[in-house]
Structure 1
Amino acid sequence: MKSFLLLLLLCGLSLLGHSQKKITDKHITYQQERMVFKQWDAAKFTPKSGFLGLNPEYWITWALHPNYPKTDLRPLGPVGPQTQRLMFAAAMQNTDNVYKLHADTLRNTALSEASNYSSALSFADPLWQIYYRNEFEGLLSQADAELLSGLSAAEQKYLISTGLLDWYKEESHALLERLEIARSTTLDRGSRIMAYHRMLAEFRKLSASWESKKSRVKTYLAIRSSVEKVRTGEVPKPISSKSDIQIANDILKKSKL
């Protein structure tokens, strides 16, 4: 009896195992394919209406959804929500790139204008570094105590007593102050360079005038010394019909020799 029941159970399990099989529903398969990746093919909407539209399965399936086969509902379809989202994302990315380019342009323009006007970067100006700094070296490194170096005591005394030394100091200090103002003021680079150019011309003129005055001091002192000697009788006054101008010219010629 036990053997019979065991055999009956095994037969039942065998029949149950043979009765299981893979069920493939083409309608479900078509729907899965069209919703995921394939075309929204209206020809694959099954079941069909059949002969004279008498297929009951068609009416059961599509009677309440007559427009469903005509509407592409794929997320990645031509007008699907996922496609629209990707298009919007691409459009927003393009807009962001345009805004970024515009912002970068404004930033570069602002930096260029800032460097063009800022006094903090005037020391790094290529034209100042290459040319004007060397040309203004005498003014920038001027030491008032060395202005009379190389001159004799009499020449130094004369320049101090006549006020020529004070005149040159005032003029050079005023020019240096103007140069520092031009370098430290927020100013357009072109205007700054033009200011350098004008002040350089003034500095050259002032330096030439100062050198000329120093070179003439020795001649003037020699003339004055000769005149004093003549007046005091140290040098006999020659009897001559020459005028004072001719006598002065002769003295100048002798001093040059």
Structure 2
Amino acid sequence: MKSKSILKRMIPAVFLACSCSIFGQFTVKRLYDPSIVAQEKRMVYAKWGDWRPYPKYFLGVQTNFAYATVWGMWAPSRNRDYKNGSDIRPLKANGLETQRYALVESQRQEAEKIKKEADTIHKRSVQDFAHWTSATVSADPLWLLYYNRMLKPLREFPDNPQNAQDWGFERDETYQTLLSTGGIDILKERLDLLKDKYKISRTTEMPRGKRFLMYHETLIGWRKLSAEIRSYDLKGGLALDYFKLLEKLKNTSSLFSDKTFQTDKEIAEDVMMHYKHQF
């Protein structure tokens, strides 16, 4: 009884093993069919031709039914056109699939190039944004090295100067003359414009290049205004000295205004008396 039980258990196992062996042999045979292999070669790059199955003739009559139905007289017209047509292997040197691969590769390289350019533009944009905002203008190297020092006099100049000292005049007479003639109002208007331009350049969001152009324009305007103030001061001092000298000459000539009918001797004596304590 025990041997029968063991035999019953072994029969399904043996049947399963035989089935697997037969199925495996069948699969291997189909996988390595020569016609399929030839077709695979035609579909890639290896070889154009080897038209399996081959024809067989007996007394000039085609006897290979497989050939006749695949490539021969009973085959579809598209099969005969394919066999007799040009080499259309997709993976040959100039095949369609090879061209697609080349196109894909060129597109990949172009995409990499665009990505690098985009990354560069993004990094540059981030760097430029740091200079756009007014929060970081004081940290700019060009501002620290040059414009901060050059625009310091304008920054420290009074917003509303009220006297000659505030304007930088050496003589109060020059300030009073400009005040009476309206020259101070013109200078004040130009000063306000420079102050406003300087404030805009420091507080407004703008590109770095435009900001430094405004710095430069403000600096040029400030230099012109300073030169004009010094010119007024110099010309005013010369004018005052001239007026004082002219007034002195008038006072001197008045000594002789009532001596029109004096003799030469009397005129000489009067002059000597006037200047006796100066020489």
* TM-score, normalization by structure 2: 0.45
* TM-score, normalization by structure 1: 0.47
